[in-house]
Structure 1
Protein backbone atom coordinates (compact mmCIF):
# COMPACT_ATOMS: atom_id res chain seq x y z
CA UNK A 1 0.00 0.00 0.00
CA UNK A 2 0.98 3.62 -0.52
CA UNK A 3 0.25 5.48 2.69
CA UNK A 4 0.18 9.07 3.93
CA UNK A 5 0.43 9.56 7.71
CA UNK A 6 -0.91 12.71 9.38
CA UNK A 7 -0.07 12.79 13.09
CA UNK A 8 1.13 15.76 15.12
CA UNK A 9 3.02 13.61 17.64
CA UNK A 10 6.49 13.20 16.11
CA UNK A 11 7.19 10.08 18.16
CA UNK A 12 4.03 8.28 17.10
CA UNK A 13 4.38 9.50 13.52
CA UNK A 14 7.89 8.08 13.17
CA UNK A 15 6.80 4.85 14.86
CA UNK A 16 4.05 4.39 12.29
CA UNK A 17 6.44 5.11 9.45
CA UNK A 18 8.86 2.40 10.65
CA UNK A 19 6.08 -0.10 11.34
CA UNK A 20 4.57 0.25 7.88
CA UNK A 21 7.96 0.16 6.19
CA UNK A 22 8.80 -3.06 8.01
CA UNK A 23 5.53 -4.55 6.77
CA UNK A 24 6.47 -3.72 3.17
CA UNK A 25 4.24 -0.70 2.69
CA UNK A 26 5.38 2.59 1.16
CA UNK A 27 4.91 5.70 3.27
CA UNK A 28 4.84 8.41 0.63
CA UNK A 29 4.52 11.25 3.17
CA UNK A 30 4.35 11.77 6.92
CA UNK A 31 3.12 15.16 8.11
CA UNK A 32 2.16 16.92 11.32
CA UNK A 33 -0.65 19.31 10.40
CA UNK A 34 -3.82 19.44 8.28
CA UNK A 35 -2.58 21.78 5.50
CA UNK A 36 0.40 19.48 4.94
CA UNK A 37 -1.96 16.50 4.81
CA UNK A 38 -4.03 18.12 2.07
CA UNK A 39 -0.91 18.97 0.08
CA UNK A 40 0.67 15.52 0.49
CA UNK A 41 -2.44 13.60 -0.54
CA UNK A 42 -3.10 15.79 -3.56
CA UNK A 43 0.47 15.37 -4.74
CA UNK A 44 0.89 11.64 -4.11
CA UNK A 45 -2.66 10.16 -4.40
CA UNK A 46 -2.06 7.36 -1.85
CA UNK A 47 -4.14 4.25 -1.37
CA UNK A 48 -4.93 5.22 2.20
CA UNK A 49 -4.31 8.04 4.69
CA UNK A 50 -3.89 7.55 8.43
CA UNK A 51 -5.23 10.71 10.06
CA UNK A 52 -5.32 12.09 13.59
CA UNK A 53 -8.34 14.23 14.54
CA UNK A 54 -6.78 17.07 16.54
CA UNK A 55 -3.92 18.75 14.72
CA UNK A 56 -2.35 22.23 14.52
CA UNK A 57 -3.06 25.07 14.54
CA UNK A 58 -6.05 24.90 16.91
CA UNK A 59 -5.89 21.20 17.85
CA UNK A 60 -9.65 20.75 17.53
CA UNK A 61 -10.82 18.77 14.49
CA UNK A 62 -8.58 19.97 11.64
CA UNK A 63 -7.38 16.48 10.75
CA UNK A 64 -10.85 15.03 10.43
CA UNK A 65 -12.14 18.06 8.52
CA UNK A 66 -9.26 17.62 6.08
CA UNK A 67 -10.11 13.92 5.74
CA UNK A 68 -13.73 14.75 4.86
CA UNK A 69 -12.53 17.24 2.25
CA UNK A 70 -10.07 14.77 0.73
CA UNK A 71 -12.66 12.01 0.50
CA UNK A 72 -14.85 14.33 -1.54
CA UNK A 73 -11.94 14.98 -3.90
CA UNK A 74 -10.60 11.39 -3.93
CA UNK A 75 -13.50 9.03 -3.09
CA UNK A 76 -11.43 5.94 -3.89
CA UNK A 77 -8.79 6.78 -1.29
CA UNK A 78 -9.18 5.05 2.06
CA UNK A 79 -9.11 7.03 5.31
CA UNK A 80 -8.28 5.49 8.67
CA UNK A 81 -8.78 7.90 11.55
CA UNK A 82 -6.50 7.07 14.49
CA UNK A 83 -7.23 9.28 17.45
CA UNK A 84 -7.80 9.56 21.19
CA UNK A 85 -11.11 11.32 20.60
CA UNK A 86 -14.46 10.69 18.95
CA UNK A 87 -15.47 13.78 16.95
CA UNK A 88 -19.08 12.92 16.12
CA UNK A 89 -20.01 15.61 13.57
CA UNK A 90 -17.19 15.08 11.08
CA UNK A 91 -16.95 11.35 11.74
CA UNK A 92 -20.61 11.06 10.74
CA UNK A 93 -19.97 13.09 7.59
CA UNK A 94 -16.98 10.93 6.73
CA UNK A 95 -19.01 7.75 7.01
CA UNK A 96 -22.39 8.88 5.66
CA UNK A 97 -21.03 10.47 2.47
CA UNK A 98 -19.16 7.30 1.46
CA UNK A 99 -19.03 4.32 3.80
CA UNK A 100 -16.51 2.40 1.69
CA UNK A 101 -12.86 2.66 2.65
CA UNK A 102 -13.39 4.35 6.03
CA UNK A 103 -12.17 3.47 9.50
CA UNK A 104 -12.00 5.06 12.93
CA UNK A 105 -9.89 3.57 15.70
CA UNK A 106 -9.14 4.90 19.18
CA UNK A 107 -5.43 4.92 19.96
CA UNK A 108 -5.73 3.66 23.50
CA UNK A 109 -7.99 0.78 22.42
CA UNK A 110 -5.74 -0.68 19.71
CA UNK A 111 -4.42 -3.65 21.64
CA UNK A 112 -2.12 -5.21 19.04
CA UNK A 113 -0.08 -4.11 16.05
CA UNK A 114 -1.74 -6.78 13.94
CA UNK A 115 -5.14 -5.30 14.75
CA UNK A 116 -4.08 -1.90 13.42
CA UNK A 117 -2.48 -3.37 10.28
CA UNK A 118 -5.55 -5.48 9.55
CA UNK A 119 -7.80 -2.44 9.88
CA UNK A 120 -5.54 -0.40 7.61
CA UNK A 121 -5.54 -3.08 4.93
CA UNK A 122 -9.33 -3.45 5.07
CA UNK A 123 -9.82 0.29 4.69
CA UNK A 124 -7.35 0.49 1.79
CA UNK A 125 -9.26 -2.32 0.08
CA UNK A 126 -12.57 -0.47 0.38
CA UNK A 127 -13.80 -2.03 3.61
CA UNK A 128 -14.56 -0.49 6.98
CA UNK A 129 -12.94 -0.65 10.41
CA UNK A 130 -14.69 1.05 13.33
CA UNK A 131 -13.97 0.73 17.03
CA UNK A 132 -17.18 -0.39 18.82
CA UNK A 133 -16.96 2.63 21.12
CA UNK A 134 -16.93 4.96 18.11
CA UNK A 135 -19.97 3.18 16.71
CA UNK A 136 -21.84 3.68 19.98
CA UNK A 137 -21.06 7.40 19.89
CA UNK A 138 -22.30 7.74 16.32
CA UNK A 139 -25.49 5.78 16.99
CA UNK A 140 -26.19 7.79 20.13
CA UNK A 141 -25.88 11.01 18.12
CA UNK A 142 -28.24 9.76 15.45
CA UNK A 143 -30.89 8.65 17.91
CA UNK A 144 -30.97 11.71 20.12
CA UNK A 145 -34.62 12.55 20.88
CA UNK A 146 -36.37 15.60 22.16
CA UNK A 147 -37.19 14.96 25.86
CA UNK A 148 -40.72 16.29 25.22
CA UNK A 149 -41.38 13.10 23.26
CA UNK A 150 -41.18 11.11 26.49
CA UNK A 151 -44.01 13.03 28.17
CA UNK A 152 -47.33 11.29 28.80
CA UNK A 153 -50.58 12.80 27.43
CA UNK A 154 -51.44 14.06 30.91
CA UNK A 155 -48.00 15.67 31.28
CA UNK A 156 -48.46 17.33 27.91
CA UNK A 157 -51.79 18.76 29.05
CA UNK A 158 -50.12 20.15 32.16
CA UNK A 159 -47.15 21.66 30.35
CA UNK A 160 -49.52 23.34 27.89
CA UNK A 161 -51.45 24.90 30.76
CA UNK A 162 -48.18 25.94 32.40
CA UNK A 163 -47.26 27.68 29.16
CA UNK A 164 -50.54 29.54 29.33
CA UNK A 165 -49.53 30.88 32.74
CA UNK A 166 -51.75 28.77 34.99
CA UNK A 167 -50.70 27.91 38.54
CA UNK A 168 -50.82 24.37 39.91
CA UNK A 169 -54.11 25.19 41.63
CA UNK A 170 -55.64 26.44 38.39
CA UNK A 171 -54.36 23.40 36.50
CA UNK A 172 -55.88 21.16 39.17
CA UNK A 173 -59.26 22.80 38.71
CA UNK A 174 -59.16 22.67 34.92
CA UNK A 175 -58.10 19.02 34.71
CA UNK A 176 -60.27 17.89 37.65
CA UNK A 177 -57.38 16.26 39.49
CA UNK A 178 -55.90 16.95 42.92
CA UNK A 179 -53.25 19.61 43.37
CA UNK A 180 -50.85 17.01 44.75
CA UNK A 181 -51.30 15.00 41.54
CA UNK A 182 -50.45 18.10 39.52
CA UNK A 183 -47.32 18.62 41.61
CA UNK A 184 -46.23 15.01 40.98
CA UNK A 185 -46.74 15.45 37.24
CA UNK A 186 -44.82 18.74 37.27
CA UNK A 187 -41.88 17.13 39.10
CA UNK A 188 -41.94 14.27 36.57
CA UNK A 189 -41.80 16.83 33.76
CA UNK A 190 -38.79 18.52 35.39
CA UNK A 191 -37.02 15.15 35.62
CA UNK A 192 -37.74 14.21 32.00
CA UNK A 193 -36.46 17.59 30.80
CA UNK A 194 -33.37 17.21 33.00
CA UNK A 195 -34.14 20.39 34.91
CA UNK A 196 -32.49 20.01 38.29
CA UNK A 197 -32.50 22.60 41.05
CA UNK A 198 -30.39 25.39 39.53
CA UNK A 199 -29.80 28.48 41.61
CA UNK A 200 -31.12 31.66 39.99
CA UNK A 201 -33.41 29.91 37.51
CA UNK A 202 -37.10 29.00 37.62
CA UNK A 203 -37.62 25.43 36.45
CA UNK A 204 -41.18 26.35 35.55
CA UNK A 205 -40.00 29.11 33.21
CA UNK A 206 -37.34 26.85 31.68
CA UNK A 207 -39.99 24.20 31.10
CA UNK A 208 -42.23 26.67 29.29
CA UNK A 209 -39.31 27.95 27.19
CA UNK A 210 -38.46 24.38 26.23
CA UNK A 211 -42.09 23.73 25.27
CA UNK A 212 -42.34 26.92 23.19
CA UNK A 213 -39.03 26.20 21.48
CA UNK A 214 -40.14 22.68 20.53
Structure 2
Protein backbone atom coordinates (compact mmCIF):
# COMPACT_ATOMS: atom_id res chain seq x y z
CA UNK A 1 0.00 0.00 0.00
CA UNK A 2 1.19 3.49 -0.87
CA UNK A 3 1.43 6.15 1.83
CA UNK A 4 2.95 9.61 1.71
CA UNK A 5 4.35 11.62 4.60
CA UNK A 6 4.50 15.38 4.21
CA UNK A 7 2.63 18.68 4.50
CA UNK A 8 0.96 20.21 1.45
CA UNK A 9 2.60 23.57 2.16
CA UNK A 10 5.81 21.97 0.87
CA UNK A 11 6.39 22.33 -2.86
CA UNK A 12 8.11 18.95 -2.83
CA UNK A 13 5.08 17.25 -1.32
CA UNK A 14 2.81 19.05 -3.80
CA UNK A 15 4.80 17.54 -6.67
CA UNK A 16 4.09 14.02 -5.44
CA UNK A 17 0.42 14.67 -4.70
CA UNK A 18 -0.08 16.28 -8.11
CA UNK A 19 1.66 13.35 -9.78
CA UNK A 20 -0.56 10.83 -8.01
CA UNK A 21 -3.70 12.74 -8.94
CA UNK A 22 -2.68 12.96 -12.60
CA UNK A 23 -1.95 9.24 -12.59
CA UNK A 24 -5.23 8.46 -10.84
CA UNK A 25 -3.39 6.74 -8.00
CA UNK A 26 -4.86 6.71 -4.50
CA UNK A 27 -2.21 8.11 -2.19
CA UNK A 28 -3.12 8.45 1.51
CA UNK A 29 -1.07 11.18 3.15
CA UNK A 30 -0.06 12.08 6.70
CA UNK A 31 1.08 15.60 7.59
CA UNK A 32 4.72 15.88 8.61
CA UNK A 33 7.31 18.63 8.78
CA UNK A 34 7.45 22.12 10.31
CA UNK A 35 4.59 22.55 12.82
CA UNK A 36 3.46 18.96 12.30
CA UNK A 37 6.71 17.50 13.57
CA UNK A 38 7.24 13.75 12.92
CA UNK A 39 10.40 14.24 10.85
CA UNK A 40 12.72 14.13 13.87
CA UNK A 41 11.31 10.92 15.29
CA UNK A 42 13.56 7.84 15.22
CA UNK A 43 11.06 5.97 13.03
CA UNK A 44 10.97 8.70 10.39
CA UNK A 45 14.73 9.17 10.46
CA UNK A 46 15.23 5.45 9.99
CA UNK A 47 13.35 5.79 6.69
CA UNK A 48 14.76 9.17 5.68
CA UNK A 49 17.97 10.17 7.47
CA UNK A 50 17.66 13.68 6.01
CA UNK A 51 14.58 14.31 8.13
CA UNK A 52 12.80 15.95 5.20
CA UNK A 53 9.51 15.49 3.38
CA UNK A 54 8.20 13.90 1.28
CA UNK A 55 8.68 10.29 2.26
CA UNK A 56 6.90 7.56 0.32
CA UNK A 57 6.07 4.08 1.55
CA UNK A 58 5.15 1.44 -1.01
CA UNK A 59 4.68 -1.58 1.18
CA UNK A 60 8.08 -2.31 2.69
CA UNK A 61 9.84 -0.06 0.17
CA UNK A 62 10.59 3.53 1.18
CA UNK A 63 11.71 6.39 -1.02
CA UNK A 64 12.64 10.03 -0.48
CA UNK A 65 13.56 12.94 -2.80
CA UNK A 66 10.50 14.43 -4.47
CA UNK A 67 11.48 14.21 -8.13
CA UNK A 68 12.66 10.65 -7.64
CA UNK A 69 9.29 9.78 -6.12
CA UNK A 70 7.55 11.37 -9.13
CA UNK A 71 9.70 9.26 -11.46
CA UNK A 72 8.97 6.16 -9.42
CA UNK A 73 5.21 6.62 -9.43
CA UNK A 74 5.17 7.29 -13.18
CA UNK A 75 7.32 4.23 -13.89
CA UNK A 76 5.24 2.13 -11.48
CA UNK A 77 2.03 3.04 -13.27
CA UNK A 78 3.51 3.01 -16.76
CA UNK A 79 2.26 6.54 -17.46
CA UNK A 80 4.04 9.85 -18.15
CA UNK A 81 7.34 7.93 -18.09
CA UNK A 82 8.72 7.98 -21.65
CA UNK A 83 9.67 4.60 -23.05
CA UNK A 84 12.02 6.08 -25.63
CA UNK A 85 15.44 6.61 -24.08
CA UNK A 86 16.02 10.05 -25.62
CA UNK A 87 12.57 11.27 -24.63
CA UNK A 88 12.99 9.92 -21.11
CA UNK A 89 16.26 11.70 -20.51
CA UNK A 90 14.91 14.87 -22.04
CA UNK A 91 12.26 14.71 -19.32
CA UNK A 92 14.88 13.81 -16.70
CA UNK A 93 16.93 16.85 -17.68
CA UNK A 94 14.08 19.27 -17.00
CA UNK A 95 13.32 17.61 -13.68
CA UNK A 96 16.93 18.02 -12.60
CA UNK A 97 16.94 21.63 -13.82
CA UNK A 98 13.88 22.40 -11.73
CA UNK A 99 15.57 21.08 -8.61
CA UNK A 100 19.06 22.47 -9.15
CA UNK A 101 18.41 25.78 -10.94
CA UNK A 102 14.82 27.06 -10.85
CA UNK A 103 14.04 26.12 -7.26
CA UNK A 104 17.15 27.68 -5.69
CA UNK A 105 16.51 30.89 -7.62
CA UNK A 106 12.92 31.29 -6.45
CA UNK A 107 13.12 29.93 -2.92
CA UNK A 108 14.62 33.03 -1.23
CA UNK A 109 11.86 35.27 -2.59
CA UNK A 110 9.17 32.79 -1.62
CA UNK A 111 10.49 32.50 1.93
CA UNK A 112 10.66 36.26 2.36
CA UNK A 113 7.10 36.82 1.14
CA UNK A 114 5.42 33.82 2.79
CA UNK A 115 7.53 32.58 5.69
CA UNK A 116 8.99 35.84 7.05
CA UNK A 117 6.93 38.38 9.00
CA UNK A 118 6.41 41.64 7.04
CA UNK A 119 8.47 43.68 9.47
CA UNK A 120 11.45 41.36 9.02
CA UNK A 121 11.33 41.01 5.23
CA UNK A 122 14.49 41.81 3.33
CA UNK A 123 13.63 43.64 0.11
CA UNK A 124 17.15 43.04 -1.18
CA UNK A 125 16.75 39.27 -0.92
CA UNK A 126 13.44 39.47 -2.79
CA UNK A 127 15.01 41.62 -5.52
CA UNK A 128 17.91 39.19 -5.93
CA UNK A 129 15.49 36.27 -6.17
CA UNK A 130 13.40 38.06 -8.79
CA UNK A 131 16.53 38.89 -10.79
CA UNK A 132 17.60 35.24 -10.70
CA UNK A 133 14.19 33.75 -11.40
CA UNK A 134 12.66 35.89 -14.13
CA UNK A 135 15.28 34.98 -16.78
CA UNK A 136 14.58 31.30 -16.07
CA UNK A 137 10.86 31.76 -16.64
CA UNK A 138 11.69 33.68 -19.82
CA UNK A 139 13.74 30.68 -20.91
CA UNK A 140 10.77 28.39 -20.16
CA UNK A 141 8.49 30.67 -22.14
CA UNK A 142 10.80 30.45 -25.15
CA UNK A 143 11.01 26.69 -24.76
CA UNK A 144 7.23 26.33 -24.65
CA UNK A 145 6.83 28.53 -27.72
CA UNK A 146 8.24 25.61 -29.70
CA UNK A 147 6.31 22.71 -28.18
CA UNK A 148 3.21 21.99 -26.14
CA UNK A 149 4.86 20.43 -23.09
CA UNK A 150 8.22 20.37 -21.38
CA UNK A 151 9.53 17.24 -23.08
CA UNK A 152 7.66 17.38 -26.38
CA UNK A 153 4.12 17.03 -27.70
CA UNK A 154 2.68 15.14 -24.72
CA UNK A 155 2.50 15.57 -20.96
CA UNK A 156 5.28 13.72 -19.12
CA UNK A 157 6.73 13.53 -15.64
CA UNK A 158 8.85 16.58 -16.52
CA UNK A 159 5.84 18.90 -16.45
CA UNK A 160 4.92 18.12 -12.85
CA UNK A 161 7.79 19.79 -10.92
CA UNK A 162 7.71 22.82 -13.23
CA UNK A 163 3.97 23.26 -12.65
CA UNK A 164 4.55 23.32 -8.90
CA UNK A 165 7.30 25.93 -9.28
CA UNK A 166 5.00 28.13 -11.39
CA UNK A 167 2.26 27.77 -8.79
CA UNK A 168 4.64 28.90 -6.05
CA UNK A 169 6.22 31.83 -7.88
CA UNK A 170 3.02 33.16 -9.41
CA UNK A 171 1.29 33.00 -6.04
CA UNK A 172 3.61 35.66 -4.62
CA UNK A 173 2.21 39.20 -4.23
CA UNK A 174 4.50 40.79 -6.78
CA UNK A 175 4.24 41.76 -10.46
CA UNK A 176 5.72 39.64 -13.20
CA UNK A 177 6.38 40.07 -16.92
CA UNK A 178 4.06 38.51 -19.51
CA UNK A 179 5.10 34.99 -20.52
CA UNK A 180 2.36 34.01 -23.01
CA UNK A 181 3.55 30.51 -23.82
CA UNK A 182 4.19 29.61 -20.21
CA UNK A 183 0.80 31.10 -19.32
CA UNK A 184 -0.86 28.94 -21.99
CA UNK A 185 0.85 25.84 -20.63
CA UNK A 186 -0.06 26.62 -17.03
CA UNK A 187 -3.67 27.43 -17.94
CA UNK A 188 -3.84 23.90 -19.30
CA UNK A 189 -2.75 22.61 -15.92
CA UNK A 190 -5.34 24.67 -14.06
CA UNK A 191 -8.05 23.31 -16.34
CA UNK A 192 -7.19 19.73 -15.37
CA UNK A 193 -9.36 18.26 -12.58
CA UNK A 194 -6.20 16.53 -11.28
CA UNK A 195 -4.75 19.92 -10.31
CA UNK A 196 -7.49 20.56 -7.74
CA UNK A 197 -6.27 20.59 -4.18
CA UNK A 198 -2.72 21.33 -5.30
CA UNK A 199 -2.34 24.13 -7.85
CA UNK A 200 -5.35 26.03 -6.51
CA UNK A 201 -4.04 26.16 -2.93
CA UNK A 202 -2.85 29.43 -1.40
CA UNK A 203 0.79 29.50 -0.39
CA UNK A 204 1.70 28.96 3.23
TM-score if structure 2 supplies the norm length? 0.26
Q: Specify the structure having the higher radius of gyration (Cα).
A: 1
Structure with the larger strand share:
1
Bigger relative contact order, structure 1 or 2, given CA contacts below 8 A and separation 6+?
2
